[in-house]
Amino acid sequence: MDLWLKEMQLEDAGIAMTYKVKETLVRKKTQFQDLAIVDTEVFGRMLVLDGIVQTTIKDEFVYHEMISHIPLFTHPNPKKVLVVGGGDGGAIREILRHPSVEKAVLCEIDGDVVEECKKYLPEISCALDDPRCEVFIGDGIKYVKEHKNEFDVIIVDSTDPFSIAEGLFGGNFYKDIYESLTEDGIFIAQTETPFYLPETVKKVFSDAKAIFPVTKMFMAAIPTYPGGYWSFTVGSKKYDPSQVDITKIPEMDTKYYTPEIHKACFVLPKYVQDVISE
């Protein structure tokens, strides 16, 4: 008998993806959500929260490299980094590849995500036990409010803007992030699909732009995310990520990110430009 995971990718959008499953490794109701890790034929082991694919062994490198290296190679000397969400640990893994980073804090609301990813997704979560990493299980919104002028880079590695993640998108949270950053700090967030959720993308970009002196959007191709083409928004107090001198970016063993990609990803298709234009 064939077993298939059917992911309804967007609410009421009439879009679904199906994945052939070899084995269900874990399935549980946590305090906050339905958590599953399954082993699939094509994408390998896969983290699924509330029926939505979060990351897979096969394509996770795209998301984690881009959400981490764009801000960390933009800031000239990032020492302290906060990741809000990201309980799988992939962003932490990439952050700690930067020798200037002295401390990386992972603030994840659901401790079960961290524990199950350590068990079943070690390729992604492998840096969570690094001595430079501090794992804090709790509310990211509250954490950011309570830590002012502390972080050089803040990465919002959240699920989609529904349910427990809804408060991680929008002006009030971005104001708190601004205050939590140092005087030349940078923030980045995954900001959904401009093809299927243009109004969401437009709102989060507009909210960030109202707060940060430099606000830029870039795109990356992620096969398991709706539409396969995903947006990220960068808010910076000082440095323009699209104007980095790529000749000064040191060589790093990556699978998606390159200095050339750093420059090129900020060149947006016309329909994306139209989405975020006033």
160 assigned to a ligand binding site: yes
Which DSSP string corresponds to 168-232? Answer: GSSHHHHHHHHHHEEEEEEEEEE---TTT-HHHHHHHHHHHHTT-SEEEEEEEE-TTSGGGEEEE
176 assigned to a ligand binding site: no
152 assigned to a ligand binding site: no
98 assigned to a ligand binding site: no
- Between CA 85 and CA 92 the distance in angstroms is 11
- Between CA 186 and CA 160 the distance in angstroms is 21
41 assigned to a ligand binding site: no
33 assigned to a ligand binding site: yes
Token pair 């060589």 in the structure block, residue: 251
* Options 59, 112, 157, 176, the catalytic residue: 157
Query: Residue 77: what residue type?
Result: N
How many beta carbons lie within 10 A of that of residue 237, not counting itself?
16
140 assigned to a ligand binding site: yes
89 assigned to a ligand binding site: no
139 assigned to a ligand binding site: yes
Which DSSP string corresponds to 108-156? Answer: ES-HHHHHHHHHH-HHHHTTTTSTTEEEEES-HHHHHHH--S-EEEEEE
157 classed as catalytic: yes
158 assigned to a ligand binding site: yes
Task: Point out the annotated binding site for spermidine.
Answer: 64, 88, 157-160
The annotated binding site is made up of 33, 64, 88, 108, 139-140, 157-160
Where in the sequence numbering do the catalytic residues fall? 157
Annotation: binding site for S-methyl-5'-thioadenosine:
33, 108, 139-140
